[in-house]
Structure 1
């Protein structure tokens, strides 16, 4: 399979790279230190059309493909993992479910503002007792007249505070086998009874806000149920498959950013009268890093291409997410090692890349869950 980029994909790559270098990179250290989500940056990202890359023009998007979107995530992640995470979550988890499963009315009302860059959205799946076991959802939504009344709690939710809408999963009944029916519902910002807080002091991706959402007798019109009320579980599994491509792309970006810093440093740093890049121990580290980044990038492009072709991509997105995130942690760790003592210092930034990379092995399905997904796709039961 040939992964040479099209003219349009290269244009998006150059545009996002230029924006990331000029607008995000200068503030990345500050955003990490202050653990601050930049509303200003996301307004610029919206105006540039990046929030609508994979959505059709009739919904305010750019009409590009998933490969183009993955390229954009990588370029942002190359300079700031936190900003990259919020961007990926806004598109893959916030807006995409509405595009995949929403009615035409829902798309016009909720997707158009997101795709056209007016704001971002969030996806409320994880709960205090339902992480990897997403089927253990305890949040409930009861139909009363023309409204659903939602009660429950969500945690680790990216973009919650600034979201125009939060799509939450909730138990809406029982099927014929007595199992919970999980549905997805769109909850607009400032809906009475929805409280969003940011209590987490995180190790990494600190430029991304991670929130807690409490829903107390939150009422939304029954028209806000997303797609088939009986298939909420399948809907968010599909959503997560797509989201894993973006997390894998973010991992590639972080690894590429760390690698470039390590390569540059190795050529400048002299020991024993020579640049350390002349030492075979360093050369082999850099060779392995470059090779693994390229392998991971190809896996991301393949999964994205399959999705664009309407072909099954569950296994491939899990391959990409698992390999790319574990590769990113290895690569960022080696980048610190190449920097020596300087790598441990914040001003050299590679320590931030490592802290940011760790989250990617956990979010959107842990590495262990990815291995479970892959083994089941192989027919293991």
Structure 2
């Protein structure tokens, strides 16, 4: 496997790094509260980055999401690309692609995902979707929601339609989340029997990439703090315990990154990737939690300050841990998949 980015992927990553670095600064994040930074989202869409994902593939998206994670930028980039752009491009009809993709590319439409299927939503034989999903990231900003019903059928639902209610929910991270309530809501079917598994694997890979960025940003902040903060007349970074803790966090971050790259690389070549996507999700959940705790700890008392930038990485890392399913849950699913594949 060769994870070396293409020229197009490198250019897109560089552009994303510049935009996120210029606009997703601490003062703007504080001002945004728990909502989306509308100006930043507009800038990303004007630069063509959401639409570029169709060309640079899932590995390219993972690279872009790393840059978002480094700055904990409050935009629905992962959600709209995974549950909107890539889902429709990969599994939509020709009519759905013509109608929805232009809006998803320019940001006038934003997609959220009621994933994974947990039996909460039922697709009625007589038509309409009913049920409630307690947490949907970026739901309050979404124009469309990709809903996974109990039978794993997929439905595109417009948030403005009758029978659709989005109730605000505050989470650990400021993801503009909501509780989705459907009461006989109409929806249009997306894809066939394999669409659910494929989009779920894509989502796990993409959000693992986002976690890699969150962790990289947290470690960078911790290293900067340890190199400049002095204790007993010398920098904290000269303490062997600090060095070892930072090194472990760096290695965990690299493990998240490389497993996300592997799953994305396989996706872009249309190769089986369910186990690799679960592996990436496990590392992102289990190791990601360790990294953001370590980064906060290495800041000492400063890390406990709710207004300190490193605390945002801590909150994002813990929320991604929960959203990916928590390590033990993901590991159990991975074990079951490996047993199933081994028995064939």
Q: What is the TM-score with the length of structure 2 in the denominator?
A: 0.91
Question: 1:257-294: per-residue Cα shift (whole Å, max 9, x none)?
Answer: 11111111111111121111111111111222222222
Per the TM alignment, residue 161 of structure 1 is displaced from its structure 2 partner at its CA by: 2.7
Contact 1:166 1:189 in 2 (8 A): yes
Work out whether 1:88 is the aligned partner of 2:88: no
- Give the one of 82, 91, 102 matched to 2:92: 102
State the match for 1:175 in structure 2. Answer: none
Per the TM alignment, residue 252 of structure 1 is displaced from its structure 2 partner at its CA by: 0.7
Contact 2:284 2:321 in 1 (8 A): no
State the match for 2:191 in structure 1. Answer: 227
State the match for 1:188 in structure 2. Answer: 158
Q: Give the Cα separation in 2 of the matches to 1:48 and 1:254.
A: 23
State the match for 2:149 in structure 1. Answer: 170
State the match for 1:348 in structure 2. Answer: 308
Contact 1:31 1:37 in 2 (8 A): no
Distance 1:305 1:192, change over 3 A: same
State the match for 1:301 in structure 2. Answer: 261
Contact 2:285 2:326 in 1 (8 A): no
Work out whether 1:337 is the aligned partner of 2:297: yes
Distance 1:46 1:139, change over 3 A: same
Distance 1:96 1:106, change over 3 A: same
State the match for 2:42 in structure 1. Answer: 43
Contact 2:3 2:265 in 1 (8 A): no
Distance 1:348 1:374, change over 3 A: same
Per the TM alignment, residue 70 of structure 1 is displaced from its structure 2 partner at its CA by: 0.3
Distance 1:191 1:291, change over 3 A: same
Per the TM alignment, residue 324 of structure 1 is displaced from its structure 2 partner at its CA by: 2.4
Q: Give the Cα separation in 2 of the matches to 1:273 and 1:360.
A: 38
Unaligned runs of 5+ in 1: 56-62, 127-133, 172-180
Q: Give the Cα separation in 2 of the matches to 1:377 and 1:151.
A: 30
Distance 1:170 1:302, change over 3 A: closer
Number of positions where the alignment pairs a residue of Structure 1 with one of Structure 2: 341
- Give the one of 139, 146, 160 matched to 1:160: 139
State the match for 1:197 in structure 2. Answer: 167
Q: Secondary structure at the match of 1:213?
A: strand
RMSD after superposition: 2.1
Per the TM alignment, residue 37 of structure 1 is displaced from its structure 2 partner at its CA by: 2.4
Of 19-28 and 253-262, more deviation after overlay is shown by 19-28
- Give the one of 268, 289, 301 matched to 2:249: 289
Per the TM alignment, residue 314 of structure 1 is displaced from its structure 2 partner at its CA by: 0.8
State the match for 1:378 in structure 2. Answer: 338
Distance 1:274 1:125, change over 3 A: closer
Q: Secondary structure at the match of 1:379?
A: helix
Distance 1:27 1:235, change over 3 A: farther
State the match for 1:74 in structure 2. Answer: 66
Contact 2:63 2:209 in 1 (8 A): yes
Per the TM alignment, residue 135 of structure 1 is displaced from its structure 2 partner at its CA by: 5.2
- Give the one of 196, 205, 210 matched to 1:245: 205
Distance 1:325 1:125, change over 3 A: closer
Distance 1:288 1:151, change over 3 A: closer
Contact 1:241 1:317 in 2 (8 A): yes
Per the TM alignment, residue 28 of structure 1 is displaced from its structure 2 partner at its CA by: 5.2
Distance 1:253 1:125, change over 3 A: closer
Distance 1:119 1:42, change over 3 A: farther
Q: Give the Cα separation in 1 of the matches to 2:284 and 2:186.
A: 40
Tell me which structure has the larger Cα radius of gyration: 1
